[in-house]
Amino acid sequence: NRARRRMRALARDHLSPLAKNGFDYVLIARHDPATANWQDMANGLQKAIRYLQRTIANGTNSDTKPDSKPNSRPMADSQPQDDL
């Protein structure tokens, strides 16, 4: 219960001022929030929210890497294949 209360307080105190309308935020504690240092948790949350906002503003997805070079081959015309 203590961990849940701390996560709620963290969201109320530190997420609310930074949150953008129209977005849902899901907090997942990777370490025990009941015993974690409060300031470290607050700093980590603020850093994560700012990173997300920059990523969204730039229209980029950090999970995908851009192609090193564009596809230089033209796509072949699609033709029906014979059944084998």
Which DSSP symbol is given to 65? P
- For the stretch 31-82, pLDDT in tens is 889 999 999 999 999 999 999 999 988 986 655 555 444 444 444 544 555 5
- For the stretch 8-24, pLDDT in tens is 999 999 998 888 888 88
d(CA 71, CA 75): 9
Check residue 48 and give its pLDDT: 92
**56-71 residues labelled b (16+ CB within 10 A) or e (exposed):** eeeeeeeeeeeeeeee
- Compute φ and ψ for 10, nearest 5 degrees: -60, -45
Q: Please, what is the Cα angle at 14 between 50 and 56, to 5 degrees?
A: 25
